[in-house]
Structure 1
Amino acid sequence: MSEIDRNQGLARQIAKNIQDSIMQGRLSAAQRLPSEVELAERFSVSQPTVREAMKILAAKKLIQSKRGPKGGVFVSPPSLDIAAQTLHETTNWLVSLGAVGLADIVGARRSLGRLSIAAACEHAEREDHKRIEAALLELDHTEISDEDFCRLEVEFHQAVAAACPNSLLRLVMVMVNEALIPAANMISFPFRQRDKVVAMQRQVFSAILVRDAAEAISAFDTLIDYQSGIYDIALEQRTLGSRLR
C-alpha cells in the first residue's frame, strides 16, 4: 500500500470515529472540535491526514468552519435544509440511474401528497395561504418557459407542504417535490396542458382555503391521475420514436 493510500485510509477512519461521536451524542451540536494539532496527537497521525478527515466530514455537512478569534471547526447544528438537499441529490441520482421508475414516483407523490394536503387543510394560516396563492399566480402565465413552469410547480407543492407542523413530513416532501416532480416533468412537459394543471392546482388551493380536506385530496388525486396519464403518453411516444430510428 502506498503512503497516499495509507493516509487516505487513516483519514477515513478518523472521519468515521468523529462521525460516530456526533451520531451517538458524544459531540453535541455547535460544539467546537479539538484543533488539528490535538487531533493529530490523539490519533497519532500527521496534520494533513487530519485535514483530509475534516474534508470528508465537511462534505457530509457534519462540521463547519468559522473564522475569527472564536473560530475553529464546529459540529453543524441540525438543519432540515441540509438534510433535504442531501435527500434531493440522492433521489435525483436514483431517478437518473433508473432505480426509481415513474410508477414509484406517482405512488409516492400520491400517498405523501395526500398527507401533506390534509395537514395544510388543518393547519395552514393566512401566511401559508399567501405563499400558495403567490406560487399559483406565478404559474398562471403563458409566456413563462417550461423550465420556469416546472420550477414554480415545485414551489406550489412546497408552499402547501410548508403549512404542515410535522418537520419530518416537511423534510420528506422536499425530497418528493424537489426531486421527483422535476424528474417526471423532464419526460412529460411537452405533452401536458398547462392550463389544466393550473386549474387543478387552483381546485386544491380553494379546498385548502375552506379547510375541506376531502375535497382537497380529491382534487389532488385528479391532478395526479392527469399527470400519470401524461407520463404514459410520453413513454409511449419515446418507445415509438426509438423503434422508428
Structure 2
Amino acid sequence: MKKTSPSSADLSAKIAKNIRDAIVAGELIVDERLPSEADLSEQFNVSRPTVREALKRLAAQSLIRTQRGATGGAFVNHISFQDAYPQQITTSTLLLSMNEVSFETACEARFTLERACAPLSAQRRTADQLATMRAEIFRQSQPGLSDEAWCASDISFHRALVDGAANPILSYQLAGAIEAIEPLMNMITFTARSRAEIISLHTQIADGLEDQTAEAVDKALVKLERYTKKLAADVLSRRKPTEN
C-alpha cells in the first residue's frame, strides 16, 4: 500500500502542538523568544511557509505574539483568563451546534454551574458588579428593547453574577456556559417568556447579592431555572405536529 506524505496543514498542526506542549510544560517561558522561522524550518525539516502557518495557529490561540524590527520575532505570550474567554465561548458554541444537546441538558448545566458561584458572589461581589446588574435590570425594563438587546443584557447580568465570585477559573469555565448557552435558551423561549417575571427574579438575585444572602440568590436561580425549563417545554410542545 502506497504511503501518502503528510500535508502542510498536518505538519503545521503538528509543529504548533509541539510548541504549545513546550509552553504548557514550562520549557518555553513567558516573553521568551522562539527560534527564527529558518531555525524552526530546519529543526522540523519543513518549509518556512509551513512554519509560518504553525505560528499563525499559535497566535490565533494567543499563545504567542509577533513583533517586527531588529529585535522582533515570535515570543511566548502572557495569556490571561480574559484573553481565553473567546476561545471557550467559541468551543462551547460549536459543541452545542454540532451535537444533539437537549434544552433540558443545557439548562441544567448552565444553572448548576451558576448556582455554584452564588455563595462566593454573595460574599465577594463588588459595588461595580452590583451596579452592572442593577443597570441591566433597568435596561431590561425598557419597553422598546429588542430581543437581541434583551439577550445581550441577560448575558451581561449573569456574567456580573459569575464574575462576582472573584474566581478567574470559575469565570473562564462559565464563559461558555453563559455566553454560549444563554443565546440558545433565549432563542427558544423569547416568544413565550414574560420579561416582567424574569426581571422580578433578576431583582431577587441582585437583592440577595446586595444583602450578601447566598440562600436568596440560590432560591431565585432555582426559580429561574424552573421557569426557563417550563417555557421551553411549552414552546417545544406547540411545535410538535398535531397527531391525527
User: What TM-score results when the alignment is normalised by the length of structure 2?
Assistant: 0.91
Tell me by how many angstroms 1:7 deviates. 3.4
Q: Could you say which residue in structure 1 is the equivalent of 2:114? A: 113
One-letter identity of the residue aligned with 2:98: L
Shift of 1:49: 2.0
Aligned partner letter, 1:74: F
Measured in 2, the distance between the counterparts of 1:129 and 1:48 equals 50
The 1-side partners of 2:160 and 2:75 are apart by 32
Q: How many residues align?
A: 241
State whether structure 2 residue 90 is matched by structure 1 residue 51. Answer: no
Alpha-carbon distance in 1 for matches of 2:36, 2:186? 47
Tell me how far apart the structure 2 counterparts of residues 202 and 132 of structure 1 sit (CA, whole Å): 9
1:205 match: 206
Correspondence list, 1:1-245, <5 A: 5-240=6-241, 243=242
Using the aligned pairs only, state the percent identity: 31
Q: Which runs of 5+ in 1 are unaligned?
A: none
Residue-by-residue CA offset, 1:113-137 (whole Å, 9 max, x unaligned): 1122221111112222212212222
Cα contact 1:92–1:183 (8 A) shared by 2: no
1:135-176 deviations in whole A, cap 9, x for unaligned?
A: 222222110100100110000000111111211111122111
Say if 1:123 and 1:165, in contact at 8 Å, map to a contact too: yes
Taking a change above 3 Å as real, the CA distance of residues 111 and 43 of structure 1, as seen in their structure-2 partners, is: same
**One-letter amino acid matched to 2:240:** T
CA separation of 1:223/1:50 partners in 2, compared to 1, >3 Å: closer, same or farther?
same
1:97–1:2 distance in 2 versus 1, CA, 3 Å:
closer
More displaced stretch, 126-135 vs 185-194: 126-135
Structure 1 vs Structure 2 CA RMSD: 1.9
Amino acid at match of 1:187: I
The Cα shift of 1:59 comes to 3.1
Q: Which ranges of structure 2 fall in alignment gaps of 5 or more residues?
A: none
Shift of 1:210: 0.6
| Structure 1 residues 17 and 130: alpha-carbon distance in aligned structure 2, compared to 1, 3 A threshold | same
Which is worse superposed, 25-34 or 9-18?
9-18
| Secondary structure in 1 matching 2:144 | coil
| Residue identity opposite 1:55 in structure 2 | K
Q: So what's the TM-score if we normalise by structure 1?
A: 0.90
Contact kept? 1:95, 1:101, Cα under 8 Å = no
Deviates more, 1:83-92 or 1:176-185: 83-92
